[in-house]
Amino acid sequence: MRTPIIAGNWKLHKTVDEACDLVTALSAQIAEVSDVEVIVAPVFTSLAGVAAALKGSKITLAAQNCFPEPQGAYTGEVSPALLKDVGCSAVIVGHSERRQLFGETDTFINRKVKALLEAGLQPIFCIGETLDEREGGEMYDVLQRQVHKGLEGLSSEQMQKIVIAYEPVWAIGTGKTASTEQAAEAHAFIRGLVSGLFDNVTAEAVRILYGGSVKPDNVDALMAEADVDGALVGGASLKADDFARIVRFKPTKG
């Protein structure tokens, strides 16, 4: 059985105090949950404060990005080692906003994945197609390219330390969500890609999260799909009540 992961990507939201208040409220609301891994990813400036607020909590800390070098003349960047030092255990890489707004390539994202593994951090590796790519029949080609190039040069052992997040770009922050059938189809395809690159055992072990307008009212149906192992939540993770309800999902066929 793959342990589900519910991760909150807070993007560019919350001051240090607001972030600490949020995790304190969230921790109280999910204290009884024992069979789900819960991760929060605040902005860089809040990481140390949130790490302190999470002491004694079952929630783990992630960063939203990293730079794939341990140190050097890289103004404005943050290394995996520094993120680990501040209390992170995971880092999101390859998010569509990084790809689209900041021009990050599959090759650059692959460097980040390897740097995180080298530092002993868990990569949450994001992939997904745009609306034009989906409507143009390119979805499978895009996912194959992102998976193959993003995971190039990794061993099966390393792959078992990686979480994949499938986020159809057209569903991020738009209020649109992939149907359960669309999510299931994409997740099954991605698991097949991992099997082809590595082996069936590795593919069955890897956890694939769905991201894209996940909310309390759609998480139950999404989590009922066999290949959906959790969610990478955006806007709904900014409210303790909503995020706690998502963490307490009850898989039900829609």
- pLDDT category at 1 given cuts 50, 70, 90 is confident
Percent of the chain with pLDDT over 70: 98
Backbone angles phi, psi at 101, to 5 degrees: -85, -30
User: Exposed/middle/buried for 44, CB within 10 Å: 0-12, 13-18, 19+?
Assistant: middle
CATH number, domain at 228?
A: 3.20.20.70
User: Exposed/middle/buried for 29, CB within 10 Å: 0-12, 13-18, 19+?
Assistant: middle
Is 219 inside any structural domain?
yes
CB 124 within 8 A of CB 94: no
* Catalytically annotated residue among 95, 104, 129, 133: 95
Is 254 inside any structural domain?
no
148 catalytic per annotation: no
pTM, two decimals, is 0.96
Is 29 inside any structural domain?
yes
Is 252 inside any structural domain?
no
157 catalytic per annotation: no
User: Residue 29 has which token pair?
Assistant: 């609301």
HSE on the CB side for 93, CA within 13 Å? 32
Structural domain boundaries enclosing 228:
5-247
* Catalytically annotated residue among 37, 129, 167, 225: 167
Could you give the number of structural domains in the chain?
A: 1
Is 136 inside any structural domain?
yes
Is 253 inside any structural domain?
no
Each residue's pLDDT tens digit, 139-168: 999 999 999 999 999 999 999 999 999 999
Element (H, E) at 59: none
CA angle 123, 126, 128 (to 5 degrees): 165
Task: Over range 83-94, report the average pLDDT.
Answer: 98
- pLDDT category at 254 given cuts 50, 70, 90 is low
For the chain, give the mean pLDDT: 95
User: Residue 53 has which token pair?
Assistant: 């607020």
Is 71 inside any structural domain?
yes
- Distance from C-alpha of 81 to C-alpha of 69, rounded to nearest angstrom: 9
CA proximity to 62, closest of 19, 103, 8: 8
Q: Is 90 exceeded by the pLDDT of residue 179?
A: no
- Distance from C-alpha of 35 to C-alpha of 32, rounded to nearest angstrom: 9
Q: Is 80 exceeded by the pLDDT of residue 175?
A: no
Is 138 inside any structural domain?
yes
